[in-house]
Amino acid sequence: MEPIDPGAVVRIVLRLVHALSAAIWLGAGAYLVFALLPLRRGSTAVGDVVRASQQQFRRWWVGSSALLLGSGVALMFDRLADGRGTATYVGLLVIKVGAGVVALAASGGLLPRPAANRVDTPSGFRLSGRAVLVLGALAYLLGVLLSVIYPPDPTAGWR
């Protein structure tokens, strides 16, 4: 029996963390945009429930965003270090990272949000919830495409 390569295990764990974090982030966004936000128009009581649920889920969203960014950076450097990063791969990666960063920035990113009632704070960079969701989905789908075009070799160890 061959010994287990710790680098291969780390690479597999990073890929799992990255995929699960993306699914949580994207799924939460879809739920917010298509299920919760339309309820807000109903009544003030429903609006209060929507706001409370957004606040409760924010911790999960911030955690998944941090894991998504951290694992993505590690995986990006790992993949580019193997010498297989063609111009097509790098181009798709740039588009994927760009879409993901814009989606994170437009949805509030990892920074604390200003108080909702304050009018003296700038609104910052905002897009509609659907636009953020489309950008997040684009980043996710490009990640899948990159994995299909350039399949990972988890047995290669950490480079």
* 83 DSSP 8-state letter: T
pLDDT digits (tens, 9 = 90+) for 67-91: 988 898 888 888 888 776 788 888 9
| Alpha carbon separation from 149 to 21, 84, 105, 125, 146 (Å, rounded) | 22, 11, 28, 33, 5
Q: Compute and round to an integer the Cα radius of gyration of the chain.
A: 19
Q: Looking at per-residue confidence, does 137 or 41 come out higher?
A: 137
For residue 158, name the pLDDT band (cuts at 50, 70, 90): very low
For residue 124, name the pLDDT band (cuts at 50, 70, 90): low
Cα diameter, the chain: 65
Average pLDDT, the chain: 78
Q: Report pLDDT for 154.
A: 57
Domain ranges of the chain: 6-156
pLDDT digits (tens, 9 = 90+) for 11-35: 889 989 999 999 988 888 888 888 8
